[in-house]
């Protein structure tokens, strides 16, 4: 049984009381440490949506608050656990994702301009504009959409095909490969330039090929 599974064995009121007061005689010490860590992860994730940077900040806080050294990989796991446990961003509209993609493209644009790479900056800016347009189009469509209410004591949301997706999977797809996919979508630059851009974005380590005479 994982530590997350063990959490489900406690009454929600006990968990809630611990998160509010920081004390509980009914929760084992290791579970308390885990709960505090995912609570901090959720707090940091509210304003820092980059998983790697969020993990580094969580790592520093755990060291300061609990005097425990944990690596970044474990901190990322804590962030995913927090997203899953606290239902963060459970229902994000497609237009919000499009806006988020646009923001990331614009981040790449700024980075490329600072490096003097105006060609790639233009490609990123064009991609951001396209995301903004799709977001705007979705918003217009939603204006003409009317909700349909179904009241039943038999049917569940799962029966209708609206079961909640794994937030951990969403978070991993959204963050771990996010910038890599954006850069790979830029068809006007070659493979070496994409590798350099990924390195500048702190996605990959720069690989230098050695040549022999």
The reported pLDDT for the residue numbered 149 is 57
Residues 194 and 113 reside in one and the same domain? yes
- In degrees to the nearest 10, what's the CA dihedral of 52, 54, 55, 61? 150
DSSP state of 154: S
The residues near 29 (Cβ < 8 Å, ≥ 6 apart) are: none
Tens-place pLDDT, residues 10-45: 777 788 788 878 888 788 888 999 999 999 998 898
pTM of the model: 0.45
Residues 187 and 104 reside in one and the same domain? yes
Among residues 164, 174, 2, the alpha carbon closest in space to that of 78 is found at 2
Between residues 159 and 15, which one has the greater pLDDT?
15
Is the confidence at residue 62, as pLDDT, over 90? yes
Residues 79 and 17 reside in one and the same domain? yes
Domain range for residue 41?
3-85
Q: CA 84 to CA 15: how far, in whole Å?
A: 15
Decide which of 85, 120, 137 is a domain's last residue.
85
Decide which of 21, 54, 85 is a domain's last residue.
85
Is the confidence at residue 91, as pLDDT, over 50? no
Is the confidence at residue 115, as pLDDT, over 60? yes
Mean pLDDT of the chain: 75
Between residues 181 and 81, which one has the greater pLDDT?
81
Decide which of 34, 62, 85 is a domain's last residue.
85
Q: With bands split at pLDDT 50, 70 and 90, how would you rate the model's confidence at 61? A: very high
Residues 28 and 71 reside in one and the same domain? yes
Q: Give a yes or no: residue 211 inside a domain.
A: no
Between residues 133 and 145, which one has the greater pLDDT?
133
Q: Give a yes or no: residue 188 inside a domain.
A: yes
Q: How many domains does the chain have?
A: 2
Q: Give a yes or no: residue 169 inside a domain.
A: yes
Residues 102 and 193 reside in one and the same domain? yes
Among residues 106, 84, 71, 77, the alpha carbon closest in space to that of 179 is found at 106
Residues 65 and 105 reside in one and the same domain? no
Residues 32 and 52 reside in one and the same domain? yes
Cβ–Cβ < 8 Å for 29, 45: no
Residues 81 and 98 reside in one and the same domain? no
């Amino acid at each position: 049984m994982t530590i997350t599974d063990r959490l489900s064995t406690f009454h929600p009121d006990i968990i809630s009381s611990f998160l509010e007061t920081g004390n509980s005689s009914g929760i084992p010490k290791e579970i308390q440490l885990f709960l505090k860590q995912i609570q901090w992860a959720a707090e940091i994730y509210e304003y820092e949506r980059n998983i790697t940077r969020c993990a580094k900040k969580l790592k520093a806080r755990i060291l300061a608050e609990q005097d425990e050294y944990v690596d970044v990989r474990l901190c990322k796991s804590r962030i995913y656990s927090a997203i899953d446990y606290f239902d963060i961003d459970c229902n994000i509209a497609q237009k919000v994702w499009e806006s988020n993609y646009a923001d990331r493209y614009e981040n790449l644009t700024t980075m490329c301009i600072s490096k003097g790479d105006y060609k790639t900056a233009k490609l990123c800016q064009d991609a951001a504009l396209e995301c903004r347009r799709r977001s705007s189009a979705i918003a217009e469509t939603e204006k003409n959409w009317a909700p349909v209410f179904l009241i039943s004591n038999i049917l569940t949301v799962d029966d209708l095909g609206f079961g909640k997706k794994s937030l951990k999977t969403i978070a991993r797809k959204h963050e771990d490969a996010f910038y890599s996919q954006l850069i790979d979508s830029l068809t006007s630059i070659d493979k070496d330039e994409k590798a350099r851009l990924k390195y500048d974005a702190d996605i990959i380590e720069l690989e230098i090929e050695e040549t022999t005479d």
